[in-house]
Chain A
């Protein structure tokens, strides 16, 4: 189909107009590059491939869960039960391993439980009509509780090296320094980016997040969309539970406690609007990596964990404030231009 010339209107270049502020997700990407360069220049051992592999692998669970979380937040939803699902999946894996299941059979079951947990979240949100924040705060407690029921206070740690090595930072994709969990993350990130930015599914997500009524009136199956998202989120969280278990060689009910906030923080830092309808997957990935790089740098420089948490917090506040501030400034400038 050829695009006809638009008579009576200015030609559409598709480029953003002048005077707009730099996009936040691009800014985070630039910040990531800057942090990387500064780290390389100032901190011995930062740019060693072994350190980079370790730094990347440390973000594996947050990074994986951030992918479906980005889709959720774009659609105006949030899933705070992901870390609990990670714990439940880990506990279940430990319990089943203890009971003599093979790894090949217990993993599918853990993933199934994850998907079902996500489906329950989605069902409560779409059928019962509760806000996702409330629903997933509830299931956050529920899934963590179930994890304790499944494994109690025990820790199961006798996973064989033949499996654990797939999650370690020393076993990398041949010819690169990239650990396998991160390689998988890269594949999934590309898939998620295509889904969000190049498909009808993604277009629908943005519409639902920006204005759910308008999406519904356009014939978009809003409820089904949300069910799919929450199910995906549960599935990925349970998979992250397996990765976590293997990476630390330990299955515990309290694995990944509080991780959901790290995920949400990374996604918001990447410029995804918590109100829904705005954001890019690239931004979210940059947010995850930026936090990972900063944590690694601070650790290498012997700066305490408390300071690391504060740095992340400040970044988050700045990331939420800056776009608002930019909007206010633009509006003021426009008003002045109109007055002058």
Chain B
């Protein structure tokens, strides 16, 4: 890796630059004329809400998507990537939030997968693979045994393996997409020191995080996106976190999250000492009708697992679930639906919808017993149920017989909501209800949840989107490593308190310093 002395003010020629880049998916304009430049030896932050276009931008840099318009330049020369391999060969490495290593291969094998040094007759030179890996680890200052299998490595260690892999490709640009979301405080600090060292060697870094404190800690400049458009690129010196939030959101939070005042009624869902060995422990909480309770925490804290145990997808080892006062038979989604529970799952494409089936079939799927007599399904009834809810949720579709796979993410989520609201539930559990959907639909979903709660529905909302949690919830429950660590009422909930509980750190002031 050639080390060029970075110009401190960023006026040197950029290593990698985007100029006027646009990208649309169907009718959704994910990026509109966005420009960004990355300089050797500098860490640049990319800020924006979910759906602002950050992922799309990263995927363009990583060669996953080709831009519809605009240019990509590498060392001043325009380039086009026909795939991720092109970007990698150009020295661009991307570290994702959840690394994808081969679980049964060793760290060394993972790093050199597909390009192992060979001996005669094409045999893999295992000694060379290991010593090369050991050298990479030493350069990173990390103590990981190259021969250890990847299974069981913490997410933090897996990310370090990915970074080592990037180094082995002589990466000059390191893109990190929310790498700290699942890390503890000390793991984050170790990651940052590695990144600092790489930066000193001349690597350009693009860093994405929802934790504003980390952006200020690691980066010199920030580019903010909103609704696919560039808001500003500026030095972080002299900016405050509030400034950054204002640029990201573009309006006041109160306007964005139309939370209606509620009068919580009787307990609709009561969970007592729920435990699944090795997944979550001793989880107790209550959701009253008319109330939106958020379940916050990091990826892997066990939130979705709790929701799925409540809904009967997984059978808990211990504990009790009551719906409207009556005990719920564990381990049976059918019993849960009958009791008035509904679950909008996190993985919409896999668990929420039958992608190849039509809109009306999907909406009908939760009411198969009620669509006709004696087990028969009345076509007209099925259609009426679908068109009724499509209208109520303002679903944008062509025909009700179209496969849901053709709809946009936001409209797919509306179909999931429709199929559950059609069962007239008393408790609605939503897992990441607005992940991966556009800003407009997101606001619609929020308004809908708020209205439903005002009408007496009990809502349990799992979300990793902190502004969403703070904006929508009457109460915030926080999980950390399988346990409930905090219950914070709406007026006391702020970003810092939730994050502290989510990372298992004692609540202290001055996190962002």
Residues of A within 8 A of B345 (CB): 217
| A2 located at the interface, meaning its Cβ lies under 8 Å from any Cβ of chain B in the complex | yes
Are B350 and A218 closer than 8 Å at their CB atoms? no
Are A9 and B390 closer than 8 Å at their CB atoms? yes
Are B399 and A13 closer than 8 Å at their CB atoms? yes
Q: Beta-carbon contacts of A9-40 to B below 8 Å, as 1s and 0s?
A: 11011101100000000000000000000000
Residues of B within 8 A of A10 (CB): 398-399
Are B350 and A211 closer than 8 Å at their CB atoms? yes
CA distance A46 to B262 in the complex (A): 78
Cβ 8 A contact of A3, one of B366, B369, B387: B387
CA distance A201 to B372 in the complex (A): 12
| B337 located at the interface, meaning its Cβ lies under 8 Å from any Cβ of chain A in the complex | yes
Residues of B within 8 A of A12 (CB): 383, 387, 399-401
| A204 located at the interface, meaning its Cβ lies under 8 Å from any Cβ of chain B in the complex | yes
CA distance A314 to B388 in the complex (A): 47
Question: Which among B199-207, B269-277, B318-326, B374-382 touches the partner chain?
Answer: B374-382
Residues of A within 8 A of B513 (CB): none
Q: Taking A3-B380, A198-B376 as contacts, is the C-beta distance between A218 and B419 under 8 angstroms?
A: yes
CA distance A221 to B376 in the complex (A): 17
Q: Taking A12-B399, A203-B368 as contacts, is the C-beta distance between A214 and B377 under 8 angstroms?
A: no
Restricting to B383-402, which residues have a CB under 8 Å from any CB of A?
383-384, 387-388, 390-391, 394-401
Are A221 and B334 closer than 8 Å at their CB atoms? yes
Are B334 and A215 closer than 8 Å at their CB atoms? no
Are B361 and A4 closer than 8 Å at their CB atoms? no
Q: How far is the CB of B330 from chain A (nearest CB, A)?
A: 14
| B61 located at the interface, meaning its Cβ lies under 8 Å from any Cβ of chain A in the complex | no
| B512 located at the interface, meaning its Cβ lies under 8 Å from any Cβ of chain A in the complex | no
CA distance A7 to B390 in the complex (A): 9
| B354 located at the interface, meaning its Cβ lies under 8 Å from any Cβ of chain A in the complex | yes
- Nearest-neighbor residue (CB-CB) of B388 within chain A: A4
Main secondary structure of the interface of A (DSSP, over half): loop
| B313 located at the interface, meaning its Cβ lies under 8 Å from any Cβ of chain A in the complex | yes
CA distance A13 to B401 in the complex (A): 9
| B149 located at the interface, meaning its Cβ lies under 8 Å from any Cβ of chain A in the complex | no
Restricting to A180-218, which residues have a CB under 8 Å from any CB of B?
194, 198-204, 206-207, 210-211, 213-218
Q: Taking A3-B387, A4-B391 as contacts, is the C-beta distance between A14 and B399 under 8 angstroms?
A: yes
Q: Beta-carbon contacts of B341-381 to A below 8 Å, as 1s and 0s?
A: 00101010011111111000100111011011001110011
Are B356 and A277 closer than 8 Å at their CB atoms? yes
- Nearest-neighbor residue (CB-CB) of A198 within chain B: B376
CA distance A95 to B311 in the complex (A): 51
| A8 located at the interface, meaning its Cβ lies under 8 Å from any Cβ of chain B in the complex | yes
Cβ 8 A contact of B384, one of A1, A13, A218: A1
Are A219 and B384 closer than 8 Å at their CB atoms? no
- Nearest-neighbor residue (CB-CB) of A202 within chain B: B377
Restricting to B431-480, which residues have a CB under 8 Å from any CB of A?
none
Residues of B within 8 A of A200 (CB): 368-369, 371-372, 375-377
Are A4 and B387 closer than 8 Å at their CB atoms? yes
CA distance A314 to B350 in the complex (A): 35
Q: How far is the CB of A225 from chain B (nearest CB, A)?
A: 11
Can you give 17 contacting A-B residue pairs, CB < 8 Å?
A: A6-B387, A9-B390, A9-B396, A14-B401, A200-B369, A201-B368, A207-B354, A207-B361, A214-B354, A216-B313, A216-B351, A217-B343, A217-B351, A218-B419, A219-B337, A220-B365, A277-B356
Known: A2-B384, A200-B369. 8 other contacts (CB 8 A): A8-B394, A9-B398, A12-B400, A13-B399, A14-B383, A14-B400, A198-B377, A278-B356
Smallest CB-CB A-B distances: 10 pairs = A200-B368, A219-B337, A217-B351, A3-B384, A219-B333, A218-B365, A211-B354, A213-B351, A12-B400, A1-B384
